[in-house]
Amino acid sequence: MTDTNPLNTRLCEQYGCEVPIVAFAHTKDVIAAVTNAGGIGILGAAGTTPDQLRSAIDWIRERVGNKPFGVDLLVPASFVEGNREDLEAMIPAGHREFVANLQKSNNIPDPSRGGGRTGGLGPELLRHSREQLDVLFEKKVPIFASGLGSPAFVIERAHETGMKVWGLVGLPRQARRQIEAGVDVVIAQGYDSGGHSGTIGTFTLVPEVVSMAEGSNTLVLAGGGISNGRQLAAALAMGADGIWTGTIWLATHESETEMFLKQRLVEAQAEDAIQSRATSGKPIRQLRSKWSDAWKAPGAPEPLPMPLQPMLVSNILAGINQARMEDWMTTPAGQSVVGIHSIRPAAEVVFSLVEEAQDQFDRLNGVRV
């Protein structure tokens, strides 16, 4: 760093952001708010169509101008491929029976026509993600972040057009492969993160990945369980160039998260954010619900791999959501829910993170006790 301000990291210098805070969210309003507050917003777009993605990118760009933002897509390395009919045949009868009994015994209605889509996690995922990538190149999005799977296959093409490539990892070996492939940023996301998460804690994973990245051009972001400025300061002290955050934006004014879920986030404790494979077939940390409990109950089958599990459960989940069965509904959320105390504007969250982090650096420097 060339500045005495510890918050002016290499991420700020290279990307033009004012603070080393990256916000992952599925709501474009959050992305614009965080970016305009000095951070970098990354739009989670796995469930969008190419046209929806084009529209969202245009909307964000109109509001943030030349400030940095990006789009996160899913390109999983482990994925059962095939046409839909062949994949449907791979779903065991026992799993179908379990879901049917679950639906009947809990009076879960069938969804309306077209309501049982897999949210981009079905057999069309790989084709769909490549179509979305084409939109990113078409729209000259500054940052492509791969939230699941290695982005190595797209690095050369991206760098030729000036696009930066970020990769999210949960294991050191994944980080090493991505650093060697030449990603611009590795996001070291610990076990306590929301959404698809790994098995290693943030304080163990981040320093190891930072050591791996030494001598390379790859920056490192720390993710998982971060909800306050103390944790931002700790991440920078571990050698990270910034933080990757997601859960803390779910309860902001701009978020499209249902109000009852926002309130549950405010009230939740760390232990309420549990891991479950019941929705996507891969471990997702989310708020505990009757849905996750049902798949942990005695006699419940093990969830199937992606995309078989989304294909199996898409209809019943659509029925749950359309009927507004709140006890069964959930949202991906990390253990950082414990740091959400109110529903407030996204910019206020950014400013609080910065102020709290600066207070910690001042305390360590003896400015105040």
Residue 56 lies in a domain: yes
- The whole-number pLDDT of residue 1 equals 42
Same domain flag for 315 and 228: no
- 144, 148, 152, 155 alpha-carbon torsion, rounded to 10°: 0
Residue 5 lies in a domain: no
Same domain flag for 210 and 342: yes
Same domain flag for 137 and 185: yes
- What is the C-alpha to C-alpha distance for residues 137 and 148, in angstroms, rounded to an integer? 19
Residue 1 lies in a domain: no
Its domain, for residue 311, covers: 84-122+290-329
* Percent of the chain residues topping a pLDDT of 90: 83
- What is the C-alpha to C-alpha distance for residues 9 and 209, in angstroms, rounded to an integer? 17
Same domain flag for 215 and 98: no
Model confidence band, residue 76 (pLDDT cutoffs 50, 70, 90): low
- The whole-number pLDDT of residue 4 equals 81
Residue 47 lies in a domain: yes
Tens-place pLDDT, residues 108-134 = 999 986 554 444 444 466 667 889 999
Same domain flag for 202 and 158: yes
Same domain flag for 171 and 278: yes
Region 358-363: what's the mean pLDDT? 95
**What DSSP character marks residue 281?**
S
Same domain flag for 136 and 45: yes
- The whole-number pLDDT of residue 2 equals 45
Tens-place pLDDT, residues 247-271 = 999 999 999 999 999 999 999 999 9
Asked whether the beta carbons of 224 and 275 are under 8 A apart, the reply is no
Which residue carries 């507004």 as its tokens? 324
Same domain flag for 299 and 154: no
- What is the C-alpha to C-alpha distance for residues 326 and 194, in angstroms, rounded to an integer? 20
Asked whether the beta carbons of 255 and 303 are under 8 A apart, the reply is no
**Distance of alpha carbon 365 from its chain centroid, rounded?**
34
- The whole-number pLDDT of residue 124 equals 60
Strand partners, 42: 24, 70
Tens-place pLDDT, residues 268-279 = 999 999 999 999
Average pLDDT, the chain: 92
- The whole-number pLDDT of residue 79 equals 43
Region 278-307: what's the mean pLDDT? 95
- The whole-number pLDDT of residue 366 equals 81
Same domain flag for 209 and 99: no
- Closest-CA residue to 364 (of 1, 21, 6): 6
Asked whether the beta carbons of 210 and 240 are under 8 A apart, the reply is yes
Q: What is the SS3 assignment for 16?
A: coil
- The whole-number pLDDT of residue 78 equals 44
CATH number (domain holding residue 162): 3.20.20.70
Region 317-322: what's the mean pLDDT? 95
Domain count, the chain: 2
Region 204-214: what's the mean pLDDT? 98
Residue 252 lies in a domain: yes
Same domain flag for 229 and 305: no
Same domain flag for 294 and 241: no
More confident residue, 74 or 160: 160
Task: Give the contacts of 58 (CB within 8 A, at least 6 positions apart).
Answer: 139
Same domain flag for 278 and 189: yes
126, 198, 239, 246, 304 from 212: Cα distances, Å: 29, 18, 11, 25, 34
